Amino acid sequence: MTEIVIRGADHLLTMDDDRRELSGADIRITDGVIAEIGEGLDSAGEVIRAEGCVVTPGLVNTHHHLYQTLTRAVPGGQDALLFGWLKTLYPIWSRFGPEEMRISALTGLAELALSGCTLTSDHLYLYPNGARLDDTIHAAREIGMRFHPTRGAMSIGESQGGLPPDMLVEREAAILEDCIRVIDTFHDASVGAMTRVGVAPCSPFSVSRELMRDAALLARDKGVMMHTHLAENDEDIAYSLEQFGCRPGQYAEDLGWTGPDVWHAHCVKLDGAEIDLFASSRTGVAHCPCSNCRLGSGIAPVRAMRDAGVNVGLGVDGSASNDAANLVAEARQAMLLQRVSRGADAMSAREALEIATRGGADVLGRPDCGRIEVGARADVAIWDVSGVESAGSWDPAALLMTGPTRVRDLLVEGRQVVRDGVVTTIDLPVVVEQANRMARALAG
Ligand SMILES: [Zn+2]
Distance 232 CA to ligand 1 centre (A): 9
Residue 444 has pLDDT above 90, yes or no: no
What residues sit around ligand 1, an ion, with C-beta below 5 angstroms? 317
32 CA from centroid of ligand 1 (Å): 31
Question: What's the pLDDT band for 75 if we cut at 50, 70, 90?
Answer: confident
Confidence bin at 307 (pLDDT 50/70/90): very high
Q: What is the pLDDT of residue 340?
A: 97
Q: How confident is the model at residue 79 (pLDDT cuts 50, 70, 90)?
A: confident
| pLDDT given for residue 276 in this prediction | 98
Task: Report the pLDDT value the prediction gives residue 85, as an integer from 0 to 100.
Answer: 85
The pLDDT value given to residue 176: 98
303-328 average pLDDT score: 95
Å from CA of 386 to ligand 1 middle: 35
How is 55-121 classified by DSSP, letter by letter? Answer: EEEPEEE----GGGGGGTT-GGGTT--HHHHHHHHHHHHTT--HHHHHHHHHHHHHHHHHTTEEEEE
- What confidence score (pLDDT) does residue 162 get? 83
Handedness of CA 361, 363, 367, 368 (dihedral sign): negative
Q: Please choose, from the candidates 114, 171, 137, the residue with its C-alpha nearest in 3D space to the C-alpha of residue 66.
A: 137
Residue 329 CA to ligand 1 center (angstroms) comes to 18
Give the angle subtended at the CA of 53 by the CAs of 5 and 147, to the nearest 5°: 65
Give the pLDDT band of residue 394 (cuts 50, 70, 90): confident
Residue 313, classed as helix, strand or coil, is strand
Buried b (16+ CB within 10 A) or exposed e, 275-291: bbbbbebebbbbbbbbb
Residue of higher predicted confidence among 362 and 78: 362
Confidence of residue 398 (pLDDT cuts 50, 70, 90): confident
pLDDT tens track for 264-280: 999 999 999 999 999 99
Q: What is the mean pLDDT of residues 111-132?
A: 98
Q: How far is the CA of 61 from the centre of ligand 1 (A)?
A: 12
Residue 438's pLDDT is 97
* pLDDT tens by residue, 177-192: 999 999 999 999 999 9
Task: Please report the pLDDT score of residue 87 as a whole number.
Answer: 87
Per-residue pLDDT band at 94 (split at 50, 70, 90)? very high
Nearest to 287 by CA among 262, 269, 312, 260: 312
Identify the residue with better confidence: 436 or 43: 436
pLDDT class for 245, splitting at 50, 70, 90? very high
CA 253 to chain centre: 23
Residues 6+ apart with CB under 8 A from 157: 164, 165, 166, 167, 168, 169
- Secondary structure class of 434 (helix, strand, coil): helix
- Average pLDDT for the chain: 96
Confidence of residue 336 (pLDDT cuts 50, 70, 90): very high
What pLDDT score was predicted for residue 78? 86
pTM comes to: 0.98
pLDDT above 90 for 319: no
CA 223 – ligand 1 centroid, Å: 23
CA–CA separation, 440 vs 43, rounded Å? Answer: 49
**Do strands 225-230 and 33-38 pair parallel, antiparallel, or not at all (unpaired)?**
unpaired
Q: Is 228 left (phi over 0), alpha (psi -120 to 50) or beta?
A: beta
Cα–Cα distance measured from residue 95 to residue 348, given in angstroms and rounded to the nearest whole number: 43
Q: Are 132 and 179 in contact (CB under 8 A)?
A: no
Quick one: how many helices (H) and strands (E) in the chain? 15, 19
pLDDT value at residue 343: 96
How many A from CA of 64 to the centre of ligand 1? Answer: 6
CA–centroid distance, residue 286 to ligand 1 (Å): 9
At 77, the pLDDT band (50, 70, 90 cuts) reads confident
CA–CA gap between residue 109 and residue 427 (Å, rounded)? 13
